[in-house]
Amino acid sequence: MSSRVRKVRHDNHTAAAWLFLAPAMTAIAVFFIVPVLSALIMSLTDFDVYALGDLSVVRFMGFHNYVRIFETPLFWTALKNTFYFVLVGGPLSVAASLGTALMVNSKLARFKSFFRTVYFLPVVTSLVAVAVVWRYLYHPAHGLLNLFLSWFGVAPIDWLGNPAIAMPAIIVLAVWKNFGYNMLIFIAGLQNIPDDLYEAARIDGAGAWRQFIDITIPTLAPTTVFVVMITIIGYFQLFAEPYVMTEGGPMNATTSIVLMMYEQGFRWWNMGFAAAIAFVLFVLILFFSIVQMLIQRRLQR
């Protein structure tokens, strides 16, 4: 008898829960699940500008778009560029965030909130405005950067025009633009480390470096994993920086996967092909996120 009552009550609870969830679930279904599923279906067709005019010319292509992606040299270039950006820019960005977080959080530091604001400023400024200024800095003949280097006898460098240097130049911009955000997360992480740990270490005679290696790094590990994960996910989606600074050039040296997808989808209206690129990127990010999560679990044990 009592178990039946419990069951009824349980059912009531479930129903109520669904009722409360319904608005949010509807929104997610309409604005997320339906578009994603349509994109998935679209990626199996050759939906393009002709199809926009006459739906009867859409062909079902199976996995042809996916095969074509891997046959397109530009995709491999874009993939290589994206990895370059993630693998070089990612660690640099995390290191810069951690470094500034340590400095700002240090007991010796003065004007802490001033520096926190200064380092965070690039995050809140508009990328397009920033990119215009950086293009002046990078200008081969009149740029501030080359002027500065010329004092040390360095010959002018064509920062955005040289295919070998354009990506590093984009990375420097991106790191400068983004490190402030992760810095804040690191500061929060640092402030969570109990002071008694450092005190005990000092009593045991540990120096600053020793304290950093044995206390700061391990206790900060969960924060670091989180920061690395969001940085990698964000950096895989590199788009705005090359879009504004170089349009993917010179000679595709800064074309990223998302930039290629944008060009295919919104410039040339090859929606089917662009949707397929989006799913390849999705699988790529998913794979790296799973690897990250596995590492995190091992660390927590």
Partner 1 sequence: MTRAAIQYLRLFTLFLLAMLSGVRCRASSDTPETIKFWAMGNEGEMVRQLIPEFERLNPKIHVNVQQIPWTAAHEKLLTAFAGESTPDVCQLGNTWLPEFSVLHSIEPLDRFAAHSSGIRLNDFFEGVLKTNIIDSALVGIPWYVDTRVVFYRRDLLAEAGYTTFPATWNEVLRLCDLMQRNARAKHIPRYPLFLPTGEWVPAIILGMQSGGNFLRDGNTRGNFSGPQFHRAFDLLAQFYQKEYSPAGMQLITNVYNSFSDGLITMYITGPWNIGEFTRRISPNLQSQWMTAPLPSMDSTSPGISLPLGTSLSIFRRSSHKEAGWKLIEFLTSRDQSVAFYKITGNLPPRKSAWNDSSLSQNKYIQAFYKQLQRVDPLPQVAEWEQIVIKLQLYVEYVATQTMTVDEALHKFDGDVDQMLEKRRWLVEKNKH
Q: Tell me the C-alpha distance between 49 and 55, whole Å.
A: 10
Pick the piece of the chain touching partner 1 (CB under 8 A) from 3-11, 153-161, 172-180, 292-300.
Answer: 153-161
Task: Select 122 or 168, whichever has its Cβ closest to partner 1.
Answer: 168
Q: Distances in Å between the alpha carbon of 241 and those of 17, 19, 113? A: 44, 43, 28
Using CB under 8 A as the binding rule, the residues of this chain from 255 to 294 that contact partner 1 are: 266-269
Minimum CB separation of residue 45 from partner 1 in Å reads 12
* 139 lines the binding site for partner 1 (CB under 8 A): yes
Minimum CB separation of residue 244 from partner 1 in Å reads 11
* 44 lines the binding site for partner 1 (CB under 8 A): no
Pick the piece of the chain touching partner 1 (CB under 8 A) from 4-12, 48-56, 173-181, 230-238.
Answer: 48-56
* 53 lines the binding site for partner 1 (CB under 8 A): yes
Using CB under 8 A as the binding rule, the residues of this chain from 173 to 212 that contact partner 1 are: none
* 128 lines the binding site for partner 1 (CB under 8 A): no
User: Among residues 138, 124, 105, 104, which one has the least CA distance to residue 245?
Assistant: 138
Among 52, 147, 200, 208, binds partner 1 (CB under 8 A): 52
Minimum CB separation of residue 38 from partner 1 in Å reads 13
Distant-in-sequence, close-in-space partners of 184: CB < 8 Å, separation ≥ 6: 101, 116, 120
Torsion angle in degrees (nearest 10) through CA of 288, 294, 300, 301:
-160
What count of residues does the chain have? Answer: 301
Among 44, 46, 101, 175, binds partner 1 (CB under 8 A): 46
* 146 lines the binding site for partner 1 (CB under 8 A): no
Minimum CB separation of residue 262 from partner 1 in Å reads 10
User: Among residues 115, 296, 124, 123, which one has the least CA distance to residue 223?
Assistant: 296
Minimum CB separation of residue 240 from partner 1 in Å reads 15
Q: Tell me the C-alpha distance between 270 and 263, whole Å.
A: 9
Minimum CB separation of residue 259 from partner 1 in Å reads 14
CB burial class (10 A; 0-12, 13-18, 19+) of residue 262?
Answer: middle
> Could you tell me the two tokens for 81?
């560029």
How many residues line the site for partner 1 (CB under 8 A)? 25
Tell me 171's DSSP state: H
Pick the piece of the chain touching partner 1 (CB under 8 A) from 1-9, 94-102, 121-129, 133-141.
Answer: 133-141
Distant-in-sequence, close-in-space partners of 277: CB < 8 Å, separation ≥ 6: 69, 75, 257, 260, 261, 264
Residues near partner 1 (CB under 8 A) are 46, 48-50, 52-54, 57, 59, 139-141, 158-162, 249-252, 266-269
